[in-house]
Structure 1
Amino acid sequence: MELWFTEKQTEHFGITARVRKTHHTEETPYQKLDMLETAEFGNMLVLDGMVMTTEKDEFVYHEMVTHPALFTHPHPRKVLVVGGGDGGAIREVLKHPTVEKAVLVEIDGKVIETSKKYLPTISGKLEDPRVEVIVDDGFMHIVKAKNEYDVILVDSTEPVGPAVKLFERGFYQGIYDALTDEGIFVAQTDNPWFKGDLIRKVFQDVKEIFPITRLYTANVPTYPSGLWTFTMGSKKHDPLGVKKESIREIATKYYTPALHHACFVLPRFVEELLK
């Protein structure tokens, strides 16, 4: 008998993967957490029935949520990751030598604990001396921070449950206040095939707050539709103004100096969402 996991991404569409083993399952105080070993994508972290990350394709998301912002900022020293308890965004942040401190604020400590056990290639840098791990509400952490961070990365789940407030205009205003004068933030903003209204709303909210607002995309096979968007808000520096030759080569599998600019070139139907 074969066991398959299916994520129902809309009422009429989903993706499925054959499961070799269930490593762990539990109801945390915040969500249903499962760690599955899949035949195609290796270990897969699932929260409330939604795929968060897998060993095979995680590098795309984690590189793209971090490097466009960190190469746009001229000297990022202190970086905050909201969510991202698997540790992948932190791993990528630490590839930038100017970073002196990276703070991870994850509301669900069980995500961190389980990722350390079953996703060591993703979570391995959480023990780095430059990293501070805080198990707390990222929304409240932002509220209390003022002029503190050079870059803020919102590595949240989809807008359900505790993550809903991470897609609201007030949260983006709080991020603006928590950033330094040259600050930049990036949030994952779901996919344009199924969540066009969400992308439009977030982009407009961020645009009303930040002088520079950009949308960019990446291909993440296990995320709904495979085409994923990220929204960047910047106080001063435009990612399109970064010179290709100024982007250092670092160890990546997806992000490249040429892709830094190319990822901001949007398909026409995505451009239309922003009007």
Structure 2
Amino acid sequence: MKQSLQHLLIPLGDGVRLEVERTAESVELHSRWQTIRTEHTARFGELYCLDGDAMVSTADEFMIHESLAHHVALEHTSPRRALILGGGDGGTARELLKHPCIDAIVIAELDERVVARVREALPTVSAGALDNPRVTLRLGDAGETLEASRQCGERFDLILFDLTASDDPACAHLHAPPFLNACADRLMPGGRLHVQLGSPFYQPEAVAALHRRLNGVFPYVRPALISVPLYGGPWLLAAASVEALPETSEAQLAQRLAERAIPPLRYYNPALHRASFALPNDVHALLTA
């Protein structure tokens, strides 16, 4: 479908697009891997797209990045090493750096042009995180980064999937059982994987399929439902572990926020954390079918 100067059409699922008013012409460039486009919009502020799919906007990126990072980082008693798969925009790293116990963050980003373009056009997303000495950027396929970690014995307390959709050809292999098994092998005792399942309404088949694959690899999988306007609203995440995922009370989460002196957040709070595990009946049925 042809897009006008005035309106950007963001695909949400088969036959559904979110129409967003532009305030300027887009800037498009091509890398070896994909088409990168940055946009100026009336409601979402600055945003960027990869191959036409919206990744994050300055208006609501805090919702996904805070949830992706703090849900598992606060459930862990003391996470020290984290691996972010994708995450070249720096938003997830920015949030993890708020935990003083984090000693090292490795970002496995495929495309150096994404890193450069987002730093230039949406600098508030990374907020300097990519220049922090605790952050290491490793360019190339995330599978190769994980294999290199295995060869040198590097393991992680947290592995976060900040990737494009699970059925995207560029990263479908990163959501397949062999790679999920490789991730499980790289987790420290008590470690957690955190995956974006997707939209239960607009992408039900892909969400259910990825959830099944996670359950086929990890003995413990716990989905959580958040909301991201740019993604069409309800959005599912899933924490996975080879060990039991203990329940963390609202009081424990609040205590860890205080002990780690994490500044006030825009989206995440302990009550919302606990509430996210309560799934609507149709979403529960989708994941258990």
| TM-score, structure 2 normalization | 0.90
User: When the two structures are aligned, how many residues end up with a matched partner?
Assistant: 273
Tell me how far 1:55 sits from its aligned partner. Answer: 0.4
Instruction: Pick the aligned partner of 2:186 from 178, 184, 187.
Output: 178
One-letter identity of the residue aligned with 1:243: S
Check if 1:246 corresponds to 2:249.
Answer: no
Tell me how far 1:180 sits from its aligned partner. Answer: 1.0
Residue in 1 aligned with 2:137? Answer: 133
One-letter identity of the residue aligned with 2:93: I
One-letter identity of the residue aligned with 2:144: M
Residue in 2 aligned with 1:58? Answer: 61
Residue in 1 aligned with 2:28? Answer: 25
Instruction: Pick the aligned partner of 1:218 from 223, 226, 241.
Output: 226
Once the two structures are overlaid, the 10-residue window that deviates more, 199-208 or 256-265, is: 199-208
Residue in 2 aligned with 1:167? Answer: 175
Structure 1 Cα separation of the partners of residues 176 and 101 of structure 2: 31
Q: Is the 8 A contact 1:169 1:202 kept in 2?
A: no
Structure 2 SS opposite 1:9: strand
Q: Is the 8 A contact 2:47 2:57 kept in 1?
A: yes
Structure 2 Cα separation of the partners of residues 262 and 139 of structure 1: 34
Structure 2 SS opposite 1:227: strand
Structure 1 Cα separation of the partners of residues 227 and 11 of structure 2: 19
Structure 2 Cα separation of the partners of residues 52 and 199 of structure 1: 17
Structure 2 Cα separation of the partners of residues 18 and 200 of structure 1: 32
Structure 2 Cα separation of the partners of residues 97 and 82 of structure 1: 21
Instruction: Pick the aligned partner of 2:236 from 229, 234, 237.
Output: 229
Tell me how far 1:2 sits from its aligned partner. Answer: 5.5
Structure 1 SS opposite 2:198: coil
Structure 2 Cα separation of the partners of residues 172 and 266 of structure 1: 24
Structure 1 SS opposite 2:229: coil
Structure 1 SS opposite 2:98: coil
Pair 200,11 (structure 1): closer, same or farther in 2 beyond 3 Å: closer
Q: Is the 8 A contact 1:8 1:15 kept in 2?
A: yes
Structure 1 SS opposite 2:147: helix
Structure 1 Cα separation of the partners of residues 227 and 105 of structure 2: 26
Structure 1 Cα separation of the partners of residues 14 and 220 of structure 2: 35
Instruction: Pick the aligned partner of 2:208 from 200, 209, 213.
Output: 200
Tell me how far 1:209 sits from its aligned partner. Answer: 2.1
Q: Is the 8 A contact 2:224 2:238 kept in 1?
A: yes
Q: Is the 8 A contact 1:22 1:35 kept in 2?
A: no
Q: Which runs of 5+ in 1 are unaligned?
A: none
Residue in 2 aligned with 1:190? Answer: 198
Structure 2 SS opposite 1:35: strand
Q: Which runs of 5+ in 2 are unaligned?
A: none
Tell me how far 1:200 sits from its aligned partner. Answer: 1.9
Tell me how far 1:232 sits from its aligned partner. Answer: 1.1
Q: Once the two structures are aligned, what percentage of the paired residues are identical?
A: 29
Instruction: Pick the aligned partner of 1:74 from 74, 77, 99.
Output: 77
Instruction: Pick the aligned partner of 1:120 from 115, 118, 123.
Output: 123
Structure 2 SS opposite 1:74: coil
Instruction: Pick the aligned partner of 1:257 from 265, 270, 273.
Output: 270
Pair 228,193 (structure 1): closer, same or farther in 2 beyond 3 Å: same
Q: Is the 8 A contact 1:73 1:237 kept in 2?
A: no
Tell me how far 1:201 sits from its aligned partner. Answer: 2.0
Q: Deviations over 1:242-267 (max 9, x none)?
A: 12222215331111011111111111
In the TM superposition, 1:3-18 aligns within 5 A as 3-18=6-21
Structure 2 SS opposite 1:182: strand
Residue in 1 aligned with 2:156? Answer: 149
Q: Is the 8 A contact 2:62 2:266 kept in 1?
A: yes
Tell me how far 1:87 sits from its aligned partner. Answer: 0.6
Once the two structures are overlaid, the 10-residue window that deviates more, 40-49 or 197-206, is: 197-206
Tell me how far 1:274 sits from its aligned partner. Answer: 1.8
Structure 2 Cα separation of the partners of residues 164 and 62 of structure 1: 21
Q: Is the 8 A contact 1:72 1:237 kept in 2?
A: no
